[in-house]
């Protein structure tokens, strides 16, 4: 457990209020193995090496209600990196921040430089509604570790 305690203290996390914290060993172990479980990766008993994340290659989202399309635009993740997609339920177009995201899918490659989330999003939150706003958070993951993510939002078009 000492290895996990040192691991938890070796990096800083930022909570939803913008406060910096260090994890306990148990929190670090749980975080790494929860991310591994979501990504379909093996559980680990030894802390991983801290990853180096490249700047995200995603560029935005496209959302339309008529054809029920929600996709994240951008290139595929770098080798050894996965893109974990989180989203929030549709909100009023005037909302500029949401804090409650749900994991939808993990991608290792893109189809035509896009990550299509339509079916997983509508299964989780219902059909896309014209005039509502959607928030998607793209989080890079390596060996059970995640970056802080990049948030995209768009108002749903026809």
Q: For the chain, list the domains and their CATH numbers.
A: 2-39 (no CATH), 58-155 (2.60.40)
pLDDT, residue 148, reads 87
The band of 68, judged by pLDDT with boundaries at 50, 70 and 90, is very high
The band of 119, judged by pLDDT with boundaries at 50, 70 and 90, is very high
How high does pLDDT run on average in the chain? Answer: 93
Q: What does the pLDDT average to over 142-152?
A: 93
pLDDT, residue 12, reads 79
Return the structure tokens found at 142.
Answer: 């390596």
pLDDT, tens digit, 9 for 90 and up, residues 27-51: 999 999 999 999 999 999 999 988 8
Long-range contacts of 100-106 (CB under 8 A, 24+ apart): 101/135, 101/137, 103/38, 106/38, 106/39, 106/40, 106/82, 106/141
DSSP 26: H
């Amino acid at each position: 457990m000492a290895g996990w305690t040192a691991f938890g203290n070796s990096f800083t996390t930022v909570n939803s209020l913008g406060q910096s914290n260090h994890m306990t060993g148990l929190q670090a172990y749980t975080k790494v193995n929860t991310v591994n479980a979501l990504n379909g990766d093996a559980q680990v008993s030894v802390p991983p090496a801290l990853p180096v994340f490249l700047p995200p290659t995603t560029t935005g989202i496209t959302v339309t209600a008529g054809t029920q399309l929600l996709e994240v635009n951008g290139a595929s993740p770098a080798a050894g990196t996965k893109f974990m997609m989180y989203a929030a339920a549709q909100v009023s177009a005037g909302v500029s921040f949401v804090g409650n995201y749900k994991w939808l899918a993990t991608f290792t490659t893109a189809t035509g430089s896009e990550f299509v989330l339509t079916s997983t999003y509508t299964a989780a939150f219902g059909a896309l509604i014209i005039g509502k706003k959607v928030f998607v958070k793209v989080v890079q993951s390596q060996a059970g570790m995640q970056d802080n993510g990049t948030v995209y939002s768009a108002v749903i078009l026809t």
